Amino acid sequence: MTNSTFPSLKNHFLIALPALKDGIFTRSITYLCEHDELGAMGIIINHPLDMDVDEILEQLELDGHIYNHQQPVYAGGPVHTDRGFVLHRRDGKPWEASVDVSDTVSLTTSLDILNAIARDCGPSQSLIALGYAGWDAGQLEEELQDNAWLTVAASDHVLFDVAAEDKVDAALAILGINFSQIAPDSGHA
């Protein structure tokens, strides 16, 4: 728990409200991987870069690379944009640098998972991002109080099965709304 006012939002989506027009966060949906009294960390899951997974794997010159990975690579956030982050279905394999986010989703940052993906023996579903979004202690709570974000419990379906351009509306549908119903000045009195 972060505190009595804000319970942990780990394994939740943060959906940027229209008033949040801060570059990469504009109309973004972020999957929160960590959230505690020290801060929060997440991956933006709906801003594809102009490259696919095969391009990343090719740059890494991995042995046995099978070229059939046309999934987009995502701009995961403004922090450490040179580092790769793999959100994936938990599969019981012991990846070198992995944390379980939920009962079904893990975040891995080690090269062994990319080697496995390149050879088509990685997780059944994955999303690869460069960079992450991070908040210092209390920062996300402040932004939530300022109504910069809507939150909703994460859905594996939205995370892995929905196209990037439809993820925000799919997550909002869990709340029974869509993005067009949100006023441009939401969160501001």
**Residue 103, helix vs strand vs coil:** coil
CA-CA-CA-CA torsion sign (133, 139, 143, 145): positive
**Residue 119, helix vs strand vs coil:** coil
Residue 1 is predicted with a pLDDT of 42
Summarize pLDDT for 22-62 with one digit per residue, the tens. Answer: 689 999 999 999 999 999 999 999 999 999 999 999 998 88
* Domain range summary for the chain, segments of one domain joined by +: 12-181
In degrees and rounded to multiples of 5, residue 173 shows phi and psi of -60, -30
Do 162 and 170 touch, CB atoms closer than 8 A? yes
Domain spanning 12-181, CATH class: alpha beta
In degrees and rounded to multiples of 5, residue 79 shows phi and psi of -105, 135
Do 120 and 132 touch, CB atoms closer than 8 A? no
Tokens of 126: 């994955």
Whole-model pTM: value is: 0.91
Summarize pLDDT for 115-135 with one digit per residue, the tens. Answer: 999 999 999 999 999 999 999
